[in-house]
Structure formats: C-alpha cells, structure tokens
Structure 1
C-alpha cells in the first residue's frame, strides 16, 4: 500500500530526528579553530565546583573529570576497535583521535539520551500504576451512591493525570554544536 504524502513527510521527519539524536553522541572533528584545549579552559578545580559535577553527585553518579586532552574513546567502557573492524565493534566516534572538547560534547549528548530514556521508564511506570488504580475503581462495588460519586471523581482525577503523561516536556540548552 502506497504511503500518503503526509505519512512520507512524517517518516522523513522521524528519520531526521533520529539522526540528530545520534549526532548528539558524536564529537566534533578536531579543528584549528579551537586552539586552547577544552580541559585547560575548564580545569578540574572548576569542574569539581560546577553545577555539572554537583548535579551528578546529587544523584549518586561520580562526575567524569576532564583532566587531559584525550577524547571520548579513551574513557568509554565499551570495547572500541577501528572505524570498520571486521567482526569487531565499530568506533562510534569516527576514525580521528578525539579531544577533550569532543569528550565533553559526547558527555552532553549521552546525558541527554540517558535522561530521556529514564524519563520514559518513569512515565511508563506511573501510567501503568495509574491505569491499575483506575481498574481497581472500575472493579469495586459501586452500589452506594456516595461511594460511586467518590469513585467517579477519583477516576476522573486519575484520567486527567494520565493525560498529563501524553505531553512532551521541552527544555532549552545553549547550543554547543554548530
């Protein structure tokens, strides 16, 4: 069955969005434009007191300190081999050696993706629990008029909560990639 023009446009936009999301986890290519290494611009003593480090520590994550000009491939926990090693893992960061700036960019992209996935899991959990409570209300004995009134009010409140989880939250970030 042929796709309508609207469906084609929607699929195209979804592909573009997925590509942008994947690009968030790739460092910029090293450039002559940025001469001073990022780790010198944002030294460890400033990193320790930054909101970045404090926010991660608050949720129990040890913040990654950028102490030298090594790229993201130097600190990843995955096995990384050449850009297209046969039978091996491909290097998601490309073939060029990364820099501390690239490592910082990859960190931002990965944190955004991690936050998005965790938010999705939390939303799905809350929706399933609210739906279970609605099911309990529907299965309960509603012969008493006062109990029926309270049950309908509670069910309406819970359905309104469910509607809130269908919304998207938009946050703004300063542009870090151009």
Structure 2
C-alpha cells in the first residue's frame, strides 16, 4: 500500500533524527564562539542577494531574519517529529538548507518520473509505427534521453553543519 505524504514525512524525519543521534552536531559546540547572532550577520552580508534572487525566480518568498528566533513551524505538521533543539536564527537557517535540499531532491525526482513516462510513451508510439528512417532516428534519440535520465547529478555545497566523529 502506498504511503501518505504525512507518513513519508514522518519516516523521513525519524530517519533524520536517528542519524542525528549517531553523530551530534558540532555546531552546538561552536555556539559559544559565535559572537553575534546569524540574523545580525545576514543584515550585513553583501552576498545575501545570491539567496534572494534564485528564490524569487522560483516564486518563493526569501526568508527574513529580523530576529534571533528559531524555526516557526506551519500548521499541519502535527504528528511529525519536529526539531526542538533549534532555538536561534542560525538553527532556523540550517533547517531551511536541509528542507530546501530535501524539496529540491523530491522535485527533481518528480520531474524525472514525468519525463521518463512521457519519453517511454513516445518511444512506444514510435515503435508501433516504425517503418521509416526518421522514426528510428527519433527512437535512438529518445533512448539516449532515457539513458541520461538514469544518471545522478551532484551539487557541491559549502559545509554548513559540522558533525563530530
């Protein structure tokens, strides 16, 4: 039986919580050395537009760090294991990075499934109507596209959470 979205989220956060128990976040150890709060840094960060512009292009309102509060969770997340140890703006920002990465990965997977289904359907139609050279060329191109969709991509990110151990 297929899992509901809430159940998938619950399991995802349970896995994340279990992984966090194995290796603690060393950022907690560095907090005493972080002089000013992250929200004060963001206000003077000359590269902050590199966060705002891509989010606005994606139709997402960029986060505001007007104070040093931790994450505020939207209604409808009842039953999920929500992090309670994040109590300041840097913790809120770290959680945002993780959530955006999770969302980007899930969206990429959805797009991949869509393209695979559409290309497979087109390939099936071409094979049924096969007979001319142009159709075979199209089939070869579609096969190549399916092979490309089998690949994974990697993005290089600066380290934002340091784990002990």
Q: TM exceeds 0.5?
A: yes
Q: Distance in 1 between matches of 2:38 and 2:114?
A: 39
Q: Which position in structure 2 is the counterpart of 1:99?
A: 88
Map 1:114-133 to 2 at 5 A: 114-133=103-122
Residue in 2 that maps onto 1:8 = none
SS in 2 for 1:32: helix
* TM-score, reference length from structure 2: 0.75
User: By how many angstroms is 1:106 displaced?
Assistant: 0.5
Q: Secondary structure at the match of 1:64?
A: coil
Query: For structure 1, which runs of at least 5 residues remain unmatched after alignment?
Result: 1-17, 81-87
For the pair shown, the structure with the greater C-alpha radius of gyration is 1
Let me know the Cα RMSD of the aligned residues.
Answer: 2.7
Runs of 4+ in 1 over 6 A off after TM superposition: none
Q: Work out which structure has the larger RCO, using CA pairs closer than 8 Å and 6 or more positions apart in sequence.
A: 2
TM-score calculated relative to the size of structure 1: 0.70
Structure 2 CA distance for aligned equivalents of residues 61 and 71 of structure 1 = 20
Is the CA contact 1:38–1:101 (under 8 Å) kept in the aligned structure 2? yes
SS of the residue corresponding to residue 33 of structure 2 reads coil
Partner SS for 2:82: coil
Any conservation in 1 of the 2:130–2:136 contact (CA below 8 Å)? no
Shift of 1:90: 5.3
What is the count of residue pairs matched by the alignment? 142
Residue correspondence of structure 1 range 45-56 to structure 2 within 5 A? 46=45, 50-56=49-55
